[in-house]
A and B are shown apart, each in its own frame.
Chain A
C-alpha cells in the first residue's frame, strides 16, 4: 500500500540547534512532495514543495528539503531553529496518476526551547 512515513513523532530542540525531520514514501512512479506546517492555533500551510528539477528545494522561513529518489526520501532541514518554529510538520506525497489526492504522514511535533 502507498504510504508516507515520518520517523520522529516528537522532536525537542534548543534554539540555534540544527533540525532534520525524516520522511519516506512508498509510492512508485513520479511523485510530487510537500512539507506542510501547522503552527499552534493556526491552519495548515505549505512550507515547501518539490515537483521536478533541483532536488534541493528551499521554502519559507529558512527551511529546505532534499529529494533523494533512490532512498524514497524527502527530509526537511533547517540549520538553526528558532522558538517560533515550534509547530507540527507534515510530509505529504501525491503521485502523478489521475484520480489521486495528497496523502500525509502522521506528523512530527517540533518543540523549540528558548
Chain B
C-alpha cells in the first residue's frame, strides 16, 4: 500500500544525544514536511522540502536538521541543541508544492528525552 512510513514509533534518548527520525514515502510526492505536535499547541512546522536537495526552515527549526537526498526520504535529526525535544513528530507529504495544502501524514514518532 502507498503511504508514509515513520520510524521508530517510540524513541527514548538521553540528554545531549542526537537522534534521527526516519520518514519514507512511496506516493511519489514532491513535497515533504516535518511537524511537531505538543498538547495544546497544535502542529508546528519544523522543516519542509519542495524538491530533492532543497529544504526550508519552518517556524521552529532551531535545534533540528534535515536532508533530502532522495525524493522518497526526508529524515529529521533532533540535535542536542533542541531545548525541549520531547514531543510527537509527524511527517507528511503532498503531491507537489502547488498542492501543499493537502497533506498525507505518517503515524508519527514519539520522542522522549530522559
| A contacts, CB < 8 Å to B | 6, 9, 32, 34, 36, 43-46, 49, 51, 90, 92, 94, 98-107
Tell me the nearest residue of chain B to A101, going by C-beta: B48
Task: Determine the chain B residues whose CB is within 8 A of the CB of A46 once the complex forms.
Answer: 102-103
**Is B89 an interface residue, CB under 8 A from the partner?**
no
B40 contacts chain A at the CB level, 8 A cutoff: yes
Give B residues with C-beta under 8 Å from A. 33, 35, 40-45, 48, 50, 56, 58-59, 90, 92, 97, 100-103, 105-108
Residue of B nearest to A93 (CB): B101
CB-based contact A101/B42 at 8 Å:
no
Pair A43/B102 contact, Cβ less than 8 Å: no
Q: How far is the CB of B56 from chain A (nearest CB, A)?
A: 6
Do A94 and B100 have beta carbons less than 8 Å apart? yes
Q: Kindly list the 5 A-B residue pairs having the minimum CB-CB distance in the complex, ordered from nearest.
A: A106-B42, A104-B43, A44-B105, A32-B101, A94-B101
Please tell me if the beta carbons of B40 and A49 are within 8 angstroms of each other in the complex.
no
Contact in complex: A43, B100 (CB < 8 Å): no
- CB contacts (< 8 Å) of A90 on chain B: these are 42-43
Q: Is there contact, CB below 8 Å, between B40 and A44?
A: no
- Closest CB of chain A to B43's CB: distance in Å? 4
Partner of A101 from the list B40, B58, B105, B106 (CB cut-off 8 Å) is B58
Min CB distance B59 to A, Å, is: 8
Are A106 and B100 interface neighbours, CB within 8 A? no
Q: Which of A9, A51, A94, A102 contacts B40 (CB 8 A)?
A: A9
Residues of A within 8 Å of B105, CB to CB, are 43-45
Chain A residues with Cβ below 8 Å from B48 are 101
How far is the CB of A81 from the nearest CB of chain B, in Å?
Answer: 21
Q: Which chain A residues lie closer than 8 Å to B100 at the CB level?
A: 94, 100-102
CA distance A51 to B102 in the complex (A): 11
Which residues of chain A are within 8 angstroms of B58 by Cβ–Cβ distance? 101
Using known A-B contacts A90-B42, A101-B58, A104-B43, determine if residue A44 contacts B90 with beta carbons closer than 8 Å: yes
